[in-house]
Amino acid sequence: MAKIKGAVVVDTERCKGCDLCVVACPSDVLALSKELNAKGYNFSYMENPDACIGCAACAYVCPDACITVYKVKLQD
Amino acid sequence: MTTNEIINPANLVHKKTDLLTDVPMHYCPGCSHGVVHKLLAEVIDEMGIQEETIGVAPVGCAVFAYNYIDIDWQQAAHGRAPAVATGIKRLLPERYVFTYQGDGDLAAIGTAETIHACNRGENIMIIFINNGIYGMTGGQMAPTTLEGMKTSTSPYGRNVELNGYPLNITKLLAELEGTCYVTRQSVHNVAGVRRAKKAIQKGFENSELKKGTSVIEIVSTCNSGWKLSPAASNDWMVKNMFPAYPLGDLKNV
Amino acid sequence: MEEVRLMKGNEAIAEAAIRCGCDGYFGYPITPQSEIMETMMLLKPWETTGMVVLQAESEVAAINMVYGAAGCGKKSMTSSSSPGISLKQEGISYIASAELPCVIVNVMRGGPGLGTIQPSQADYYQSVKGGGHGDYKMIVLAPASVQEMADHTVLAFDLAFKYRTPVMLLADGVIGQMMEKVVLPPFQPRMTEEEIREKYPWGTLGKLKGNKKNVITSLALLSEEMEKTNNHLQAKYREIEKNEVLYEEFQCEDADYLIVAFGTCARVCQKTVEMAREEGIKVGLLRPITLFPFPTETIKKYAEQTKGMLSVEMNAGQMIDDVRLAVNGKVPVEHYGRLGGIVPAPDEVLNALKEKIVK
């Protein structure tokens, strides 16, 4: 069975830490960092990267267009 | 396969369109404006109409929209965007012209310009951001503010005896002969974002077909004005705004 | 061969606009200038030159349609009369700040308020000193004949594009309504989009690949940036003052006294000059054709030669301020005017001249 695996890259300097991607993620991949970016925001990052399915829900709802999404199909 | 191996251009699913400039948007964290800007940029990019599109920015939070989408823009006086767009479209009938207006701009100070542009059936698209509040000036009552909703100029909640009723302007615009497509969408979840994007694309297509005015209302959040977190604003919007401003097509000719 | 016609001043504006390659007219009916839009609608220029003529829902909408059209580098105009011009002030301020070229016709009527539909010159301050909010000016042309209504329409567009500024054609109900013979300007084709891109690269015609996007705006949140915009505008106004002053002199050479009057009043005062000279009073008439820029230097020069000046206006005394500034106290300057839509008669002016100046 093919397994889908994804990954996201957050433009951490553009991110304002609004948390909408964290809420939108169906796989609980994302979280807000403890660190701050230059503007003082807790940016979003993959806390649980193995769970990412590359669905791009986070990117769709991101108001600042700071999420890039990648996806691969893996054969078992 | 490691995350680093997946992050490879060959596996790209979604990235920011180049039409959205690298200038960071000035909007508050979680603001719906950003999503709608992104959708506009994506649709213009995918339709390949960057060279033929002229946007009209309003007065309000979206006054700086021209900094974010890489097309020609005009910035209009408060409420006058539909008149400015009329001037552009009448002299450049083959261009795609859209206005981007908030509820104060479109449904209060610019009511006349909006209704008459729609009534003339100007072949433009009107993007209407309805968050029930004046965001830029600091959260005052808007024409679409809900009954009982607290704002800085209705601190005890909108009282209809004093302030009248929330104005369902989109419903009114759907009644006009000149509009061809009037729809109400939202961008609070993935399905909503997808539908809103389709609506924007349809608005541009209608312009090309010279079918009349397309009005796309996006029921939106203003988490700073509402004094809620972005996620809580979405929940509040679903619970309170959607019953007053139900989503879906009001007119599709 | 030149084409001579008998027509109203308002009609001459409409004809001249179409002929000089105007791209768009946006208006709202108001007396005494409705013939401008009516004439255009009758002439149907959209079938010949391709010019757009649109009746807007208000004066406010009309001036903003002009903003949109002008922002594309198109030749656009609107017209109205005093109360309607008040409504356009917001748009004019934006147009001046965004540096857009356009022509605004004001066929003045008596105010304040709804006032009267009779001729007046009471919008001098509003036209010359700004009118809307912020530090701006527009070029103001004051035609005194039907011929000048046509000629100034063409000139107004030329100046508007030369300086990227709104230009007002400030007429009054007499010039708008009266009929005279007029030689109409020759037809000029409207500019093509390629020509506009070449000549006015700031226009929002759509951002071509490789070009930077064009943005028409009047907003700058940083004070330093807004001061820069203001300084730029002021420099432009100084340039206009240097280059574009227009006036007409009538029997000024040997004049002991000078009448300063524009538009309809200048026509009346020409007769006054003749009557005064019959009585042996050597009077001359200076008619400013541009009200901004004002013929300050010329008036200053006449302050050396004459013993007094009379500013004759169909208002309570507005242009007199600019005459006095030019004269700077050298000789007495007095005002004579009628209000509320009344045109002064030549003998009234002569009496006023004798009473106030000649003594």
Chain C residue numbers with beta carbons less than 8 Å from the beta carbon of B77 are 64, 67, 90-91, 94
Q: Give the B-side interface with C, CB within 8 Å.
A: 50-54, 56-57, 63-64, 66, 70-77, 80, 83-92, 95, 112-113, 116
d(CA C186, CA B225): 58
**Torsion sign (Cα): B36, B40, B90, B77:** positive
End-to-end Cα distance, chain A: 6
Chains B and C touch (3+ CB pairs under 8 A): yes
User: What CATH number has the domain spanning A2-75?
Assistant: 3.30.70.20
At residue A74, the pLDDT reads 87
Distance from CA of B41 to the nearest CA of A (A): 11
Q: What is the DSSP letter of B22?
A: S
At residue C1, the pLDDT reads 63
At residue A75, the pLDDT reads 78
How large is the average pLDDT for residues B54-71?
96
Helix (H) or strand (E) segment spanning residue B249: strand B248-252
d(CA B25, CA B44): 18
Chain C residue numbers with beta carbons less than 8 Å from the beta carbon of B84 are 64-65, 67-68, 71
Strands C308-313 and B72-75: unpaired
C-alpha distances out from residue B130 to A64, B216, B218, Å:
19, 10, 6
pLDDT in tens, C300-331: 999 999 999 999 999 999 999 999 999 999 99
At residue A40, the pLDDT reads 97
What parts of chain C have a pLDDT lower than 50?
Answer: none
Return the closest-CA partner of residue B82 out of B65, B107, B99, B104. Answer: B99
At residue B156, the pLDDT reads 97
pLDDT in tens, A18-76: 999 999 999 999 999 999 999 999 999 999 999 999 999 999 999 999 999 999 998 76
Contact C183, C2 (CB under 8 A): yes
Chain A residue numbers with beta carbons less than 8 Å from the beta carbon of B27 are 63
> Which sequence spans correspond to the domains of chain B?
26-252
At residue A1, the pLDDT reads 60
Return the closest-CA partner of residue B130 out of B153, B107, B159. Answer: B107
Interface test with B, best of A3, A5, A53, A70 (most B CBs within 10 A): A70
Contact C292, C242 (CB under 8 A): no
d(CA A16, CA B33): 14
In this complex, do A68 and B16 lie within 8 Å of one another by their Cβ atoms?
Answer: yes
C68 touches B at CB < 8 Å: yes
In this complex, do C69 and B91 lie within 8 Å of one another by their Cβ atoms?
Answer: yes
At residue B29, the pLDDT reads 97
Phi (first) and psi of residue B235, to 5 degrees: -65, -40
Domains of chain C in sequence order: 4-193 (3.40.50.970), 248-358 (3.40.50.920)
> Which sequence spans correspond to the domains of chain A?
2-75
At residue A2, the pLDDT reads 73
Phi (first) and psi of residue C3, to 5 degrees: -105, 115
Strands B96-102 and B53-57: parallel
C66 touches B at CB < 8 Å: yes
At residue C22, the pLDDT reads 98
pLDDT in tens, C135-156: 999 999 999 999 999 999 999 9
The secondary structure of A12-54 as a DSSP string is: TTT-----HHHHH-TT--EEE-SS--TTS---EEESSGGG---
d(CA C61, CA C57): 6
CATH superfamily membership of B26-252: Thiamin diphosphate (ThDP)-binding fold, Pyr/PP domains (3.40.50.970)
At residue C70, the pLDDT reads 98
